[in-house]
Structure 1
Amino acid sequence: MLALSTPAAAENAAPAQEAAPKSGPQLGTYGFDTDGMDTSVSPADDFYLYANGKWAEKTQIPADKSNYGMFTALDDLSKERVKLVLEAEKDVKGSKAGDVYASYLDTATVEKKGLKPIQPWLKQVRGIKSKAAFEKMLPTAARNGVGALFGGFVGQDDKNPDVYIFQIYQGGTGLPDRDMYLVENDKFEAIRKAYKEYLAKMLTLAGEKNAVARADAIFAVEKKIAEVQWTREDSSDATKTYNKMTVAELDKITPGLKLSSVLTGVSPKITEVVVAQPSAITGIAKIFADTDLAVLKDQMIVNSLATFSNVLPDSVSDTTFAFYGTTLQGTPQREPRWKRGVSLTEGTVGDEVGKAYAAKYFPPETKAAMDTLVKNVLAAMGRRIDGLTWMQPETKAKARTKLANFTTKIGYPDRWKDYSKLKIVRGDLFGNDLRANQWGFDDNISKLGGPIRRWEWGMLPQTVNAYANFGMNEIVFPAAILQPPFFDPKADPAINYGGIGAVIGHEISHHFDDQGAKYDENGKLSDWWTESDVKAFEAAGKKLIAQYDAYKIFPDASVKGEFTLGENIGDLAGLTIAYDAYRASLNGKEPPVIDGMTGDQRFFLGWAQVWRRNYREANLRQRLITDPHSPSAQRAWVVRNLDKWYDAFQPKADGKLYLKPEERVRIW
């Protein structure tokens, strides 16, 4: 399962067949791939390489990927499985999933139609005659999925989580981060040059003249927008980004852009909003007022082609990939078309696909085993809360209540989305994508004034990931992550607790990290900690920030400790809690030594194994700017803060990872 996929496999190859299940663990003798270790490396110097060094050395990144590791291996497996489902659905009359997938594979029709399907929309954009008309067009653009100066969606009101409210956030830029416009260095300058070339190519493909000069004008406006945008650190702060106001009050902070009329076009039900970055929205409104209409229209034309690039001819999709895939991520080639078809179908009718996937690939016994693991890790978190020395008794009681109020979702939803009103036509690839965007937009807006959809999931069953939802006070584990190396019912429990157990602990602890801790037992953004609790927590957080700030990945780029703090707390707390749960599951007995490894050693190896990942340099550099998670090696290194890791591996004090007991960060 974890073998490398063949990146250049023929797109019309026969569907893959499922391998026969092994009688024992899928990896090694106890659930860990010992062949991937490099025991010539001391665990005290680099625990990641000790556990994964030979795997890293021998594993090549497929040409269609920007990185490759355990997550991507499982994602490949999920795509292969979904392909089997969709190949069967293609022959089922009335199957929306089958019709979407078949439409995407029909490249002859896509190429024959060319840009004709998007021309009616581009004609509307070109026909805008005034700023007022541009404003009026923004709700239609948003409904079509085309980004503009700012973004918006309906979500829970953080301070009244039983109610939905419209939320607005900054937009208006095409590069992944404001630093790429503003920071002066050779690498960002090369990206800026390539981006301008991309903008010019897209305008040319759209049939526009003087593309180079017009691309420069788009970039100049986006650079101005980047100057007023908030940093990722500030934009991740739940307190700073909660700014509730009436629509009339919003108009007062956005002179030059009448957002009240825009929001009325979105829905007349919008009377209040939460603005994530008020000063940025104010700045963007002023830039809008000062910018020539022609430039705004050009930007929307490019955004429109980019939005629909995957359902337009290769001339457009290849251009988009060349910049966003190759220049920014370092990926040499696109995925085979069937894989892109799987992704598109999941994005269109994901629950229809997920329902079939879950029925075929998520057995009841896996769910039952996960239920037990989750209960054990939750119990361990409760004991951790009880034993804290820095938290006041009244805060502990509230934390315990919050923990008791958790909802856990495992595998797949109890209720699926209804796509009956979504029109899908076989052979109409662009139309399907456009209507799917509109359906998704309308579905989101329809939440206003309605009950909270506690049944709704933010991920599909076939997604290799997990998440914590603060407003719902829930933790969610899709089916696809509940398999080796994260979880294998036939593996040694130490591996499972070090793998999926730590992931469970990670998601639990997110509700108590630097942002999640701001939400109470009902999912409400509120101050429920005492002042002394906050000071102690922030002091520990500062130590963790400093620890990760010191990790230099390239001579000119390091991990951002503040930006990654929440995820680093999640790793530290999650592993700590999972270890407690593992030891508790043994009922006082010592686990056997297997292949020369003690139970505790196997637990920490299980943790290190799930973070196996090789990166292309461009991808890793971008992640340091845009990804709130630390790189995989540094995630494995979090063990240096756990006393039990020192007991297990007896690292010498001169080891690079060694920390004196008083230097180790302890939070939960």
Structure 2
Amino acid sequence: MKLKLPYYVMLAGSLTLSANSFAADGGASPKASHKQGVPKKFIDPANMNTSVKPGDDFFDYANGNWIKQNAIPAKETRWGSFNILRQENTDKLLGLLNEVSKQSATQPKGSLKQRVGDLYASGMDSVNIEKRGYDPLKPDLQRIDKISSLDDVINEITYQRVNGEGSPLFRFGVGQDDKNVNKYVAGLDQGGTSLPDRDYYLKTDARTKGIQDAYKKYIVALFTLTGSSNDAAVKNADVILGLETTLAKAQLSRVAMRDPNVTYNKFSVDAFSKTTPHLNWVKLLPQMKAEGQDTVLVGQPAFFKVADSLLAATPVDNWKVYLKWSILKGTASALSSSFVNATFDFNKVLSGQKVQTPRNERISALVDGSLGELLGQLFVEKYFTPAAKQYMVDLVNNLKGTLGDRIKRLDWMSPETKERALKKLAAFTVKIGYPDKWEKYDGVVIDRNDYVGNLRNLSVWRYNFNVSRLGKPVDKTRWSMTPPTVNAYYNPTNNEIVFPAGILQFPFFDFKADDAVNYGGIGAVIGHEMTHGFDDQGRQYDADGTLRDWWTKTDADKFKVRANKVVDQYNAFTVVDTLHVNGKLTLGENLADLGGLNVAYEAYKKTKQGQENKKIDGFTADQRFFLSWAQVWRSSQRPEAAAQRILTDPHSPEQYRTNAPLTNIDAWYKAFNVQPGDKMYKKPEDRIKVW
């Protein structure tokens, strides 16, 4: 879909569910955290490795003992502050879901509690799920068996999409037009592959080869479970990998897609159809319920030319295999245990996870991802306080004013561009906690005894809702995250920063914590999201969210010089073996970390504690600010997960998210007496200053 995806504070697995997800995670809450293991000391020396100099490795200095004493649980691929928050939040959601699922059978059909409770109950009904095996998919597989022509193949591609069964070959959806943000537009994007990144098809190193072999084994397993012979299943795997590799070669890289102008290509429907002679979009768009469209946005036009040629050059029988795979991989995790276990066996190779996440936690995450604004109402009612929201409002206002002050003082930006930057900052929309208007999911029918049917119904509802926006005014009240989520984001087309209720708890925020702790935590998160409005991508959108250049060329060039220094700094970091951080892929998040921490520190210095800088528990206030920043990113991860993140995650590993920004902040050097000769020391003239 040609949708501007939000910039996330961090990414630990998939935060949303889709038909092709192999795994999913959940979210968390505020004030109740006093009962959820908040320490007596908000900065606890017992977690620190004081045998390491803070100027040599601040991440280890601040977190080393905690990491040594806290092994990654077998069901996790990483373990740290975010994961602990999510686990606490999952426990809260499970309490709500267990309660409401006991009540749902007696609730009115279509009510909040009936649908939330019955969706959870249907996913937890393992006896019924085991009994049905893959019966829910048999009609789909039989339908595909009847395909006999290329036209049938193309019709099946649209059928699966409209009926919530899969998204083969390409991605399609409706979103804001980046250059006309008050209008929804139909959009097409590259797709058609199953592995997390195109590089998994194209690289030839031993690690990638192992993942490809595991992927083939996974394909073979699912086809044999649905009645294919082993020989036939092996041939199917070769067909699928061959088709997906061709599609991967045609895809743009993640780095290339960071430029929003590269992926903004508007065509008339007639003109685009002429570039893909077998994919007639004049016919296909109405089939996909996007009637009456004269234009379409295409993220990667060259990809669609390859996909179109591949359609004609590939035997119909091979496409039948590919289309069956689209349904199998999208539904396997909702079928009987043999399908679920095969999916997990493949996921183990990708992520290094040792044991499956318990079923109740998986289903809890699914309910949050599917009916999140129904479940979110129950969550907010029990766990989110008006006082937490007001604290955030005050904090945002302080940081917003501070960022404005910093923009005014920039020595590399002209008055003309500063004026426009300040106008954009003033236009920020701020969303805190939960939506003002809850989504009702009108028309979604949930049956306590039909888990796969429920997932299909939800997919159909999401699709129909998405395409129904065509021709309607843009609804800027909608959220891209559910209230319990431990995260935050910036959306450039709405020029908005959004902070769900789930992130407003320790170590980000606690009412009892001192300002240094809260500003080093949630304050830096707020500053991070604000800075996204001015990172390498966000800066290309103006005050009303339009993709439009508002910079003088000289100022833009000066920004790029500074941004390239950030790229170079992160490129030098090694993660696993010879794998390095991709400074270009992670540039936006790295700029946001650097800007956010600077803004938060300056805002914190306006507080009484920041001005006095007295010691608490042996640390000055400034030291507590930077230690708070470090403990937010406290984490360790499995090598497999680390390798996957290098290819797919626009966020740098936590060690470098902690350390790299600090090396560019003068106050950190002073707070910890960092001197020449220390491993993290940078000369003052080499410290990178952007926002």
TM-score (norm 1): 0.95
1:250–1:260 Cα contact (<8 Å) kept: no
1:26 matched residue in structure 2 = 38
Q: 2:138 aligns with which of 109, 119, 123?
A: 119
Which digits, 9 at most, give the CA deviation of each residue in 1:151-193, with x for residues without a partner?
Answer: 0111100000000011111111111111111111111111111
2:91 matched residue in structure 1 = 80
Q: Distance in 2 between matches of 1:261 and 1:568?
A: 44
2:345 matched residue in structure 1 = 322
Which digits, 9 at most, give the CA deviation of each residue in 1:51-80, with x for residues without a partner?
Answer: 000011111111111111111111111111
Where does 1:193-272 land on structure 2 (aligned, <5 Å)? 193-209=213-229, 210-266=232-288, 267-272=290-295
Q: Offset at 1:21?
A: 6.7
1:138–1:262 Cα contact (<8 Å) kept: no
How many residues of Structure 1 are paired with residues of Structure 2 in the alignment? 649
Question: Residue type of the partner of 1:134?
Answer: V
Q: 1:194 to 1:532 in 2, by over 3 A?
A: same
Q: Distance in 2 between matches of 1:132 and 1:21?
A: 57
Q: Distance in 1 between matches of 2:409 and 2:31?
A: 47
Q: 1:247 to 1:651 in 2, by over 3 A?
A: same
Q: Offset at 1:145?
A: 4.3
Q: 2:208 aligns with which of 188, 204, 224?
A: 188
Q: Offset at 1:256?
A: 3.2
Q: Distance in 2 between matches of 1:19 and 1:395?
A: 41
Question: Residue type of the partner of 2:635?
Answer: R
Q: Offset at 1:249?
A: 1.6
1:418 matched residue in structure 2 = 440
Question: Residue type of the partner of 2:200?
Answer: M
Which stretch has the larger CA shift, 526-535 or 219-228? 219-228
Matched, 1:104 2:123: yes
Matched, 1:58 2:69: yes
Q: Distance in 2 between matches of 1:376 and 1:579?
A: 11
Q: 2:489 aligns with which of 449, 467, 492?
A: 467
2:593–2:657 Cα contact (<8 Å) kept: yes
- In the alignment, structure 1 segments of 5+ residues that lack a partner are 1-17
Q: Offset at 1:303?
A: 2.0
2:372 matched residue in structure 1 = 350
Q: 1:116 to 1:493 in 2, by over 3 A?
A: same
Helix, strand or coil: the match of 2:43? coil
Aligned sequence identity (%): 41
Question: Residue type of the partner of 2:277?
Answer: P
Matched, 1:661 2:684: yes
Q: 1:331 aligns with which of 329, 343, 353?
A: 353
Which stretch has the larger CA shift, 499-508 or 230-239? 230-239
1:556 matched residue in structure 2 = 578
Q: Offset at 1:20?
A: 8.0
2:332–2:343 Cα contact (<8 Å) kept: yes
Q: Distance in 2 between matches of 1:271 and 1:494?
A: 54
Q: Distance in 1 between matches of 2:254 and 2:616?
A: 45
Where does 1:557-576 land on structure 2 (aligned, <5 Å)? 557-576=579-598
Quote the RMSD (CA, aligned, Å): 1.7
1:161–1:471 Cα contact (<8 Å) kept: yes
Q: Offset at 1:296?
A: 1.8
Which stretch has the larger CA shift, 540-549 or 210-219? 210-219
Q: Offset at 1:19?
A: 12
Q: 2:60 aligns with which of 49, 68, 79?
A: 49
1:85–1:356 Cα contact (<8 Å) kept: yes
TM-score (norm 2): 0.92
1:155–1:165 Cα contact (<8 Å) kept: yes
Question: Residue type of the partner of 1:206?
Answer: T
Where does 1:108-507 land on structure 2 (aligned, <5 Å)? 108-143=127-162, 144-209=164-229, 210-266=232-288, 267-323=290-346, 325-507=347-529
Q: Offset at 1:28?
A: 3.8
1:257–1:286 Cα contact (<8 Å) kept: no
1:540–1:665 Cα contact (<8 Å) kept: yes
Q: Distance in 2 between matches of 1:523 and 1:19?
A: 34
Q: Offset at 1:24?
A: 13
Q: Distance in 1 between matches of 2:233 and 2:147?
A: 19
Helix, strand or coil: the match of 2:55? coil
Q: Distance in 2 between matches of 1:374 and 1:20?
A: 22
Helix, strand or coil: the match of 1:328? helix
Q: Offset at 1:391?
A: 1.0
Which digits, 9 at most, give the CA deviation of each residue in 1:293-345, with x for residues without a partner?
Answer: 2222212212212211222111112111211x201001011111110110121
2:196–2:648 Cα contact (<8 Å) kept: yes
Q: 1:468 to 1:417 in 2, by over 3 A?
A: same
Q: 1:20 to 1:134 in 2, by over 3 A?
A: closer
Q: Offset at 1:522?
A: 0.3
Question: Residue type of the partner of 1:76?
Answer: Q
Which digits, 9 at most, give the CA deviation of each residue in 1:491-526, with x for residues without a partner?
Answer: 011011011100000000001000000000000000
- In the alignment, structure 2 segments of 5+ residues that lack a partner are 1-29, 109-113
Which digits, 9 at most, give the CA deviation of each residue in 1:363-389, with x for residues without a partner?
Answer: 111111111111111111100110111
Question: Residue type of the partner of 1:631?
Answer: P
Question: Residue type of the partner of 2:69?
Answer: K
Q: 1:20 to 1:187 in 2, by over 3 A?
A: closer
Q: Offset at 1:588?
A: 7.6
Helix, strand or coil: the match of 1:169? strand
Helix, strand or coil: the match of 1:521? coil
1:468–1:475 Cα contact (<8 Å) kept: yes
Helix, strand or coil: the match of 1:240? coil
2:491–2:497 Cα contact (<8 Å) kept: yes
2:605 matched residue in structure 1 = 583
Q: 1:604 to 1:260 in 2, by over 3 A?
A: same
Helix, strand or coil: the match of 1:83? helix
Q: Distance in 2 between matches of 1:235 and 1:488?
A: 38
Q: 1:642 to 1:179 in 2, by over 3 A?
A: same
Q: Offset at 1:467?
A: 0.3
Question: Residue type of the partner of 1:26?
Answer: V
2:6 matched residue in structure 1 = none
2:623 matched residue in structure 1 = 601
Helix, strand or coil: the match of 2:605? helix
Q: Offset at 1:22?
A: 4.5
1:135–1:258 Cα contact (<8 Å) kept: no
Q: 1:342 to 1:582 in 2, by over 3 A?
A: same
1:139–1:262 Cα contact (<8 Å) kept: yes
Q: Distance in 2 between matches of 1:108 and 1:25?
A: 36
Q: Offset at 1:258?
A: 2.6
Q: 1:145 to 1:371 in 2, by over 3 A?
A: farther
Q: Offset at 1:255?
A: 3.2
Which digits, 9 at most, give the CA deviation of each residue in 1:409-462, with x for residues without a partner?
Answer: 001111111123111111111111101000010011111111111111000011
Q: Distance in 1 between matches of 2:168 and 2:325?
A: 11
2:221–2:342 Cα contact (<8 Å) kept: yes
Q: 1:23 to 1:164 in 2, by over 3 A?
A: closer
1:257–1:289 Cα contact (<8 Å) kept: no
Q: 1:490 to 1:603 in 2, by over 3 A?
A: same
2:670 matched residue in structure 1 = 647
Question: Residue type of the partner of 2:646?
Answer: L
2:33–2:505 Cα contact (<8 Å) kept: no
